[in-house]
């Protein structure tokens, strides 16, 4: 890297990438334009998702801290809904509404225990569904990073191969196979490969990073639905002892 910096300072025209791009063929320029498109959108997704997951992580920590300090679900319900960035908030909202419907149905039925058992299963299923939907929203556009990481090196290679073919074709036209004739075209062709790698590497890193974030959030989503059902059962147990009402 130090040698490259010294070379650029000593002879800035030697590594004039912009000039090489402008002097390359139309096909190579088209490939580079596509790579620029991939790069811009990839970085936009990386920056946006970084901010989103930072807020999600913060809200999830605060949400779980508040939920686990509860004495009653009714007391913590509104407080937890204020952490709107975490998928757990939507899950709690849906689960609590289902729980209210369950109690209304129990009061008007003679089969209270059967309704209770089935109701808890329905609540968990609803919360799992909401959690999956929220995870899908969080993962939106992340797959574009995978597409960029897989496609960009091949696009760069395509531009390079085309440029090399063009360079060798120029040998027949000029009637000379000297390095001075072939080297500029090959150097221009290799720019496409460099651009392809520059675009692909951040995209792959971003995809892996956000994939791990989604997995971690998925574990929290799975655990919370079970934790909510456990909280409901615990409060119903206290209610039967006459300590307090759940809702």
What's the average model confidence in pLDDT over 99-118?
65
Who's near 180: CB < 8 A, 6+ residues apart? none
Q: Would you say residue 167 has pLDDT above 60?
A: yes
Handedness of CA 25, 26, 31, 37 (dihedral sign): positive
The residue-averaged pLDDT of 217-221 equals: 94
CB 150 within 8 A of CB 196: no
Provide mean pLDDT across the span 9-14: 47
User: What's the mean pLDDT when you consider all of the chain?
Assistant: 81
The backbone region for 242, taken as left when phi is positive above 0, alpha when psi lies in -120 to 50, beta otherwise, is left
pLDDT score at 168: 73
DSSP code string of 153-188: HHHHHHHHHHHHHHHHHHHHHHT---HHHHHHHHHH
237 vs 95: which has the higher pLDDT: 95
Task: Please give the share of the chain, as a percent, with pLDDT higher than 90.
Answer: 44
Mean pLDDT is lowest, of 40-49, 93-102, 128-137, 139-148, for: 93-102
Q: What is the Cα–Cα distance from 193 to 137, expressed in whole angstroms?
A: 34
Report pLDDT digits (tens) over 181-214.
Answer: 566 667 777 888 889 999 999 999 999 999 999 9
Q: Return phi, psi of residue 205, to 5°.
A: -60, -45
pLDDT in tens, 19-42: 666 666 777 788 889 999 999 999
Over residues 124-142, the pLDDT tens digits come to 999 999 999 999 999 999 9
Q: What pTM did the predictor assign? A: 0.79
């Amino acid at each position: 890297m130090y040698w490259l910096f010294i070379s650029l300072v000593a002879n800035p025209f030697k590594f004039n990438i912009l000039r090489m791009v402008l002097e390359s063929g139309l096909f190579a320029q088209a490939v580079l334009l596509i790579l620029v498109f991939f790069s811009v959108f990839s970085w936009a997704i990386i920056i946006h998702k970084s901010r989103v997951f930072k807020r999600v992580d913060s809200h999830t920590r605060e949400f779980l801290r508040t939920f686990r300090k509860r004495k009653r679900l009714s007391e913590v319900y509104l407080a937890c809904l204020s952490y709107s960035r975490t998928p757990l908030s939507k899950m709690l909202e849906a689960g609590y509404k289902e729980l209210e419907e369950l109690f209304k149905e129990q009061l008007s039925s003679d089969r209270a225990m059967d309704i209770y058992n089935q109701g808890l299963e329905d609540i968990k299923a609803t919360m799992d569904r909401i959690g999956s939907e929220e995870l899908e929203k969080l993962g939106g556009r992340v797959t574009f990073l995978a597409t960029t990481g897989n496609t960009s090196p091949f696009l760069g290679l395509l531009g390079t191969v085309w440029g090399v073919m063009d360079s060798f074709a120029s040998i027949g036209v000029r009637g000379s196979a000297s390095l001075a004739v072939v080297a500029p075209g090959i150097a221009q062709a290799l720019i496409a490969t460099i651009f392809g790698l520059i675009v692909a590497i951040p995209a792959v890193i971003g995809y892996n990073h956000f994939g791990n974030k989604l997995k971690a959030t998925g574990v929290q989503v799975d655990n919370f639905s079970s934790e909510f059902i456990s909280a409901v059962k615990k409060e119903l147990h206290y209610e039967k002892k006459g300590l307090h009402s759940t809702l």
